[in-house]
């Protein structure tokens, strides 16, 4: 072992991010033998306590080694993070007070498990949570038959020669290709392949598709349209910033269909001309094959699509392509923020208002905020695109930190659909008898069906009935592990499920508490809505889209049935509200706009507004006129009123006034301290200690400390949850108090879990 002392104050040191809940990298000594190999971004093996772990070198420097500093043991081959990414990770970790070892994990590709497992626990390199393998699927491949002779002179061959020879040459030179790929590039490829097959020149065989749901999606054969005036203006501003390498943020504001994606495509093309790489972040649910196909049609295979359907191997290959510069455009959900590019010249965040950009487990970062951060670190441009700006982004523009680019109207000159508000206090039920299918909604559905057009009904509750109550004792059946009501699902004879944990139980015949009462199902979930509609409109073809029926590829399957007009009424949760272009949908019904308003969160109005505008945008995407019905018990609420008028500016104006008066973001910053423990008393005491620590530091700092208070959902998975909220307009003050809380966390028993949520979204 290298004796650190021998180096005096001039040892070669490496700061290494190791897998431990530490706020900073640990310093190791670099033995002379490894001096050339230990560089920032490399993975190294070193000891942590009695374990050997893999870490990432954050920095290499010379200096006096800390007492008892240990040596770096080994440098691993393979993935090494680019310098620009390493500095970004360090800043992200510092901003969120998040363990650096956890933060670097976000950026590492899944690697050969074998090599890793030999030295460390596999968690450092495990896949992102929530990833599920997708069963392999068969697709048709076309391969050339060896020695197949091209027939000459025979009848009908002349026609074959023109396009078939081209196709055949391509297959012969490039090797076997999926039929769907050929269809993207050759008109009438399917028929041509059939003819070639008939002549014994090619063979069509079923093979396993790459495990990529976007693989065989044909690209629309569209030329890039000539930009509109507004698009041209937006692009000129973006071009100027890109060319000057001026760290700039743009808010690209335009309704769905106004041509934002077209601007992204051209901006990326421009960045490439300038030799700059680009990243585009989209909400997970908006990463559709249609969108990817548009990118593929423009950039071919020079786009890395990062999505949850990839196997670790495929993910690793994508990662390498970006790392080596073979590919310089990455598109994906929030984790694409960590694409291994040195310093992206352009980062686009589409649907920037979407709450899914906030990661709610592990490192709680906000991909939109960090996109700005990362772009600016490398003098790059960040474009935030949306139809309904978040209050944060709107305020960036108003305070001069971002530039607004507006795309008025839809690129294809369609009108926005009229929105009618249905006051559920006054309008009674239609023939179904359920007042949530009001007479107005019923008639609108009827008319749409009669016209042979499609409807979407949006309801924010999945399952059959959101709660089950005993008629006898009045008790609502709740989860034994969480303080929430169990939802009734009509599967396997009726099950009660918790939407916060995995708890599930059969629907009991009688109340398990008083053993007498009958149980009644209360409220309306998507399953019940689907059933009621089926009974009310027996000839209508109804489909449902929510997390229970649709995961991953299923979503696309349901949507393609809608696109093929095999569905008359689509019922669903959030999943029906985003980005899908469904040209035959002319009616959109919001079953209950109030559900999102009742969430205990200062962003409830903003969420509701976004949802309503988003879902209203689903109507009338094609050539036919659409209409939207919004049912509510609170028709005067400003979120409902402004959404009904499609008045985004009006809403922002009003909501900014409210936020300013109440001192909420974007006029202040928040840090939410989340505490939970199996023992309620322990959780409360711990939260109190942290609040006390915060208060003593907060004196004179302008930071307000609130709590501790029980969380809105006080218990989840048997853990009792408490919250302390820090609020201030001063970033420095808030940071100082947060650091005091962070320090006090160290004194808590290890059975108490604490996390600091900087810039929290939602308090549940
Ligand atoms: P957004 O991203 O704002 O929803 P898109 O870029 O997807 O809008 O544009 C909506 C539709 O209008 C797409 O079908 C697109 O091909 C078309 N489009 C966009 N820009 C133009 C243009 N300049 N001329 C003609 N059609 C356009
Ligand atoms: Zn539960």
Length of the chain: 764
State whether the Cα torsion 638-643-649-652 is positive or negative: positive
Q: What is the mean pLDDT of residues 249-275?
A: 93
Mean pLDDT in residue range 347-370: 94
* Token pair recorded at residue 171: 């297959």
The CA 621 to ligand 1 mean position distance, Å, reads: 12
Confidence (pLDDT) at 54: 86
Q: Which residue has the higher pLDDT, 343 or 256?
A: 343
CATH code for residues 11-128: 3.40.1440.60
pLDDT at residue number 22? 77
Ligand nearest to the CA of 477: 2
Task: Find out whether the beta carbon of 411 lies less than 6 Å from any atom of ligand 1.
Answer: yes
With a cut of 50, say whether residue 114 has pLDDT above it.
no
Ligand nearest to the Cα of 715, by number: 2
Q: Residue 728's beta-bridge partner residues?
A: 669
- Looking at residue 210, its pLDDT comes to 52
Position 89 confidence tier, pLDDT thresholds 50, 70, 90: very high
CB 505 within 8 A of CB 512: no
CB of 247 closer than 8 Å to CB of 413 = no
Tens of pLDDT, residue by residue over 404-421, are 999 987 655 556 788 899
Ligand 1 midpoint to CA 353 (Å): 20
pLDDT for 330 equals 94
Residue whose pair of structure tokens reads 């969160």 in the numeric block? 601
Ligand nearest to the CA of 501: 2
User: β-pairing, 454-458 with 585-590?
Assistant: parallel
Residue 264 has pLDDT above 60, yes or no: yes
> Regarding predicted confidence, which is higher, 141 or 32?
32
Degrees, nearest 5: CA angle 560-561-562: 90
Q: Which residue has the higher pLDDT, 698 or 620?
A: 698
- Both structure tokens of 709: 């208070």
Q: Are 503 and 479 in contact (CB under 8 A)?
A: yes
Distance in Å, CA 718 to ligand 2 centroid: 8
Does the structure show a pLDDT above 90 at 375?
yes
Is the CB–ligand 1 distance for residue 266 below 6 Å?
Answer: no
CATH number of 229-407: 3.40.50.300
579: closest CA among 160, 228, 288, 277? 288
Instruction: Identify which has the larger pLDDT, 581 or 341.
Output: 341
Per-residue pLDDT tens digits for 631-676: 999 999 999 999 988 889 999 999 999 999 999 999 999 999 999 9
Tokens of 569: 């009424």
The span from the CA of 380 to the CA of 602, in Å, is 33
CA distance 481 to 430: 39
> Of 142-146, 483-487, 616-620, 713-717, which range is least confident?
616-620
How distant is the alpha carbon of residue 424 from its chain centre?
33
Tally DSSP H helices, then E strands, for the chain: 20, 30
Q: How far apart are CA 34 and CA 669, in angstroms?
A: 45
173 has pLDDT over 70: no
Q: How confident is the model at residue 549 (pLDDT cuts 50, 70, 90)?
A: confident
Which sign does the torsion angle of CA 230, 233, 239, 242 carry?
negative
Helix ranges (DSSP H) in 617-761: 638-644, 648-662, 680-698, 731-745
Distance (angstroms) between ligand 2 centre and the Cα of 483 equals: 7
* Alpha carbons 279 and 402: distance in angstroms, whole number: 19
CA distance 589 to 587: 7
SS3 state at 684: helix
Q: What is the mean pLDDT of residues 60-64?
A: 92
The CATH classification of domain 669-758, taken from the options 3.30.200.20, 3.90.1150.10, 3.30.70.600, 3.30.300.130: 3.30.70.600
Token duo for residue 698: 């907060």
- Give me the pLDDT at residue 53, please: 86
**Fold classification of 138-147+154-208 (topology level):** Arc Repressor Mutant, subunit A (1.10.10)
The Cα 274–Cα 276 span in angstroms is 6
Q: Residue 162 — pLDDT band, cuts 50, 70, 90?
A: low
Read off the pLDDT of each residue in 587-604 and give the average, rounded to a whole number.
85
pLDDT at 3: 46
Cross-strand partners of 705:
726
Q: Residue 548 C-alpha to ligand 2 middle, in angstroms?
A: 16
Superfamily for 419-462+525-658?
A: P-loop containing nucleotide triphosphate hydrolases (3.40.50.300)
Q: What is the mean pLDDT of residues 553-572?
A: 86
Q: Would you give the DSSP letter of residue 165? A: H
Residue 331 in contact with residue 304, Cβ under 8 Å? Answer: yes
* Ligand 1 neighbour 298 (Cβ under 6 A): no
Residue 594 or residue 453, greater confidence: 453
Given a cut of 90, whether residue 171 has pLDDT beyond it is no
Most confident stretch, 130-144, 231-245, 310-324, 452-466: 231-245
478: tokens are 């709740």
pLDDT at position 128? 32
What was the pLDDT predicted at 621?
67
One DSSP character per residue, 197-249 reads: HHTTSEEEEEEEPPS-TTTTPPPP--PPPPPPHHHHHHHHHHHHHHHHT--EE
Average pLDDT over residues 258-276: 95
* Ligand 2 midpoint to CA 502 (Å): 6
The predicted model gives 582-604 an average pLDDT of 85
Closest ligand 1 atom to 258 CA: 3
List the strands of the sheet with 138-144, edge to edge: 177-178, 138-144, 202-208
Band (150; pLDDT cuts 50, 70, 90): low
User: Looking at residue 127, what is its pLDDT?
Assistant: 30
| Residues 283-305, mean pLDDT to the nearest whole number | 81
* Mean pLDDT score, 59-82: 88
Per-residue confidence at 487, pLDDT binned at 50, 70, 90?
very high
- Does residue 261 surpass a pLDDT of 70? yes
Q: 137 falls in which pLDDT band (50, 70, 90)?
A: low
Q: What is the C-alpha to C-alpha distance for residues 535 and 529, in angstroms, rounded to an integer?
A: 10
Pocket test for ligand 1, best of 220, 259, 385 (most atoms within 8 A of CB): 259
Alpha carbon separation from 227 to 101, 265, 283, 527, 623 (Å, rounded): 45, 11, 25, 44, 21
Of 277-286, 288-297, 465-474, 710-719, least confident by mean pLDDT is 288-297
Please state, in angstroms and rounded to a whole number, the distance separating the CA atoms of residues 47 and 54: 9
Task: Please report the pLDDT score of residue 204 as a whole number.
Answer: 86
pLDDT at 123 over 50: no
pLDDT of residue 578: 64
| Start-to-end CA span in the chain (Å) | 50
Going by C-alpha positions, the residue among 617, 651, 643, 649 that lies closest to residue 256 is: 617
Is any ligand 1 atom within 6 A of the Cβ of residue 254?
yes
For CA atoms 40, 45, 47, 51, give the dihedral sign.
positive
Whether 75 shows a pLDDT value over 50: the answer reads yes
Top-confidence residue, 13 or 181: 13
Is the per-residue pLDDT at 8 higher than 70?
A: no
Q: Which of 163, 548, 10, 106 is nearest to 336 (CA)?
A: 106
- CB burial of residue 193 (10 Å; 0-12, 13-18, 19+): buried
Cα–Cα distance, 80 to 83 (Å, whole number): 9
* Whole-angstrom Cα Rg for the chain: 29
What pLDDT shows up at residue 97?
92
CB-side neighbour CA atoms (13 Å) of 297: 21
Q: Read off the pLDDT of each residue in 264-277 and give the average, rounded to a whole number.
A: 96
Q: Which atom of ligand 1 is nearest to the CA of 387?
A: 3
Nearest CA, atom 20, ligand 1? 259
Is the CB of residue 57 less than 8 Å from the CB of residue 131? no
| pLDDT surpasses 70 at 321 | yes
Is residue 138 scored above 80 in pLDDT? no
The whole-angstrom separation of Cα 598 and Cα 604 is 7
pLDDT of res. 134: 37
Structure-block tokens of residue 577: 């509200």
pLDDT of amino acid 51: 86
Confidence of residue 403 (pLDDT cuts 50, 70, 90): very high
Residue closest via CA to ligand 1's atom 15 equals 259
| Whole-number Å distance between alpha carbons of 626 and 198 | 48
Average pLDDT, the chain: 85
250 Cα: distance to centroid of ligand 2 (angstroms): 42
Q: What gap in Å lies between CA 391 and CA 182, rounded to an integer?
A: 45
Q: Which atom of ligand 1 is nearest to the CA of 294?
A: 16
Q: What per-residue confidence (pLDDT) applies to 753?
A: 94
SS3 labels along 586-638: EEEEECCCCCCCCCCCCCHHHHHHHHHHHHHCCCCCCCCCCEEEEEECCCCCH
Cβ burial of 536 (10 Å; 0-12, 13-18, 19+) is middle
* Residues facing residue 57 across a β-bridge: 16
In degrees and rounded to multiples of 5, residue 763 shows phi and psi of -115, 10
Q: Which residues 6+ apart lie within 8 Å of 699 measured at CB?
A: none
The pLDDT score that the predictor gives to residue 119 is 40
Q: Which one is predicted more confidently, 455 or 135?
A: 455
Query: Can 138-147+154-208 and 669-758 be said to share one CATH topology?
Result: no
Is the Cα torsion angle 498, 503, 507, 512 positive or negative in sign?
negative
Residue closest via CA to ligand 1's atom 24 equals 225
Q: Enumerate residues with CB within 5 Å of ligand 2 (an ion).
A: 479, 481-482, 498, 500-501, 503
Please tell me which residue, 307 or 519, carries the higher pLDDT value: 519
Query: pLDDT-derived band of residue 587, with 50, 70 and 90 as boundaries?
Result: very high
Q: Which residue shows structure tokens 């808010």?
A: 251
Atom of ligand 1 nearest to the CA of 256: 4
Query: Would you kindly state where each structural domain of the chain is located, as residue ranges?
Result: 11-128, 138-147+154-208, 229-407, 419-462+525-658, 463-524, 669-758
Residue 116's pLDDT is 37
């Amino acid at each position: 072992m290298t004796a650190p002392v021998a180096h005096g104050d001039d040892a070669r040191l490496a700061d290494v991010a190791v897998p431990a809940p530490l706020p900073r990298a640990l310093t190791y000594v670099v033995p002379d033998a490894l001096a050339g190999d230990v560089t920032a971004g490399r993975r190294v093996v070193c000891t942590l306590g009695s374990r050997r772990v893999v870490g990432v070198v954050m920095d290499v420097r010379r200096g006096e080694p800390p007492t008892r500093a240990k040596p770096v043991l080994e440098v691993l081959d393979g993935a090494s993070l680019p310098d620009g990414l390493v500095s970004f990770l360090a800043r992200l970790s510092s901003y969120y007070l998040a363990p650096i070892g956890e933060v670097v994990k976000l950026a590492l590709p899944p690697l050969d498990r074998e090599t890793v497992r030999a030295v460390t626990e596999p968690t450092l390199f495990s896949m992102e949570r929530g990833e599920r393998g997708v069963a392999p699927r068969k697709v048709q491949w076309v391969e050339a038959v060896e020695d197949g002779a091209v027939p000459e002179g025979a009848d009908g061959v002349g026609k074959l020669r023109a396009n078939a020879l081209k196709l055949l040459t391509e297959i012969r030179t490039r090797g076997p290709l999926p039929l769907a790929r050929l269809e993207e590039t050759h008109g009438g490829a399917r028929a041509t392949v059939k003819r070639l097959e008939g002549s014994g020149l090619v063979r069509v065989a079923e093979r396993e598709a790459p495990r990529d749901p976007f693989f065989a999606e044909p690209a629309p054969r569209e030329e890039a349209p000539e930009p509109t005036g507004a698009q041209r203006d937006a692009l000129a501003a973006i071009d100027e910033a890109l060319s000057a390498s001026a760290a700039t943020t743009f808010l690209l504001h335009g309704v769905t269909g106004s041509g934002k994606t077209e601007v992204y495509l051209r901006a990326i093309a421009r960045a490439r001309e300038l030799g700059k790489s680009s990243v585009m972040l989209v909400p997970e649910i908006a990463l559709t094959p249609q969108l990817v196909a548009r990118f593929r049609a423009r950039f071919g295979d020079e786009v890395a699509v990062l999505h949850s359907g990839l196997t670790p191997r495929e993910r690793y290959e994508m990662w390498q392509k970006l790392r080596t510069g073979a590919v310089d455009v990455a598109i994906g959900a929030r984790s694409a923020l960590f694409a291994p590019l040195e310093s992206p010249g352009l980062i686009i965040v589409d649907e920037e208002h979407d709450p899914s950009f906030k990661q709610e487990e592990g490192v709680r970062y906000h991909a939109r905020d960090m996109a700005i951060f990362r772009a600016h670190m490398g003098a790059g441009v960040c474009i935030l695109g949306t139809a309904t700006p978040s209050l944060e982004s709107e305020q960036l523009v108003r305070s001069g930190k971002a530039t607004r680019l507006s795309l008025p109207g839809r690129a294809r000159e369609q009108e926005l659909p009229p929105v009618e508000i249905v006051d559920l206090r006054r309008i009674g039920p239609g023939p179904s008898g359920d007042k949530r299918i009001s007479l107005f909604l019923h008639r609108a559905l009827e008319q749409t069906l009669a016209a042979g057009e499609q409807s979407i009904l949006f309801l924010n509750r999945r399952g059959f009935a959101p709660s089950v109550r005993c008629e006898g004792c009045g008790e609502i059946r709740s989860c034994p592990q969480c303080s929430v009501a169990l939802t009734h699902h009509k599967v396997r004879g009726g099950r009660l499920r918790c939407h916060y944990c995995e708890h599930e139980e059969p629907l009991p015949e009688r109340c398990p508490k008083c053993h007498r009462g009958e149980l009644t199902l209360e409220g309306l979930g998507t399953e019940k809505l689907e059933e009621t509609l089926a009974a009310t409109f027996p000839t209508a073809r109804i489909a449902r889209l929510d997390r229970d029926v649709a995961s991953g590829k299923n979503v696309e399957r349901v949507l393609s049935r809608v696109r093929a007009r095999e569905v008359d009424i689509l019922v669903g949760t959030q999943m029906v509200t985003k980005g899908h272009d469904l040209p035959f949908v002319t009616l959109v019904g919001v079953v209950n706009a109030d559900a999102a308003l009742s969430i205990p969160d200062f962003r409830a109005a903003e969420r509701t507004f976004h949802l309503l505008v988003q879902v209203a945008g689903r109507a009338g995407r094609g050539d036919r006129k659409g209409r939207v019905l919004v049912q509510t018990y609170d028709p005067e609420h400003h979120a409902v009123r402004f959404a009904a008028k499609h008045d985004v500016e009006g809403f922002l104006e009003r909501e900014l006034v409210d936020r300013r008066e109440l001192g909420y973001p974007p006029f202040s910053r928040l840090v939410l301290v989340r505490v939970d423990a199996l023992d309620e008393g322990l959780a409360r005491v711990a939260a109190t200690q942290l609040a006390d620590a915060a208060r003593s530091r907060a004196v004179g700092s302008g930071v307000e400390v609130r709590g501790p208070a029980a969380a809105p959902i006080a218990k989840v998975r048997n853990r009792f949850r408490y919250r302390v909220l820090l609020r201030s307009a001063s970033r420095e003050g808030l940071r100082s108090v947060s650091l005091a809380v962070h320090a006090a966390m160290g004194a808590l028993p290890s059975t108490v879990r604490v996390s600091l949520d900087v810039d929290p979204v939602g308090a549940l």
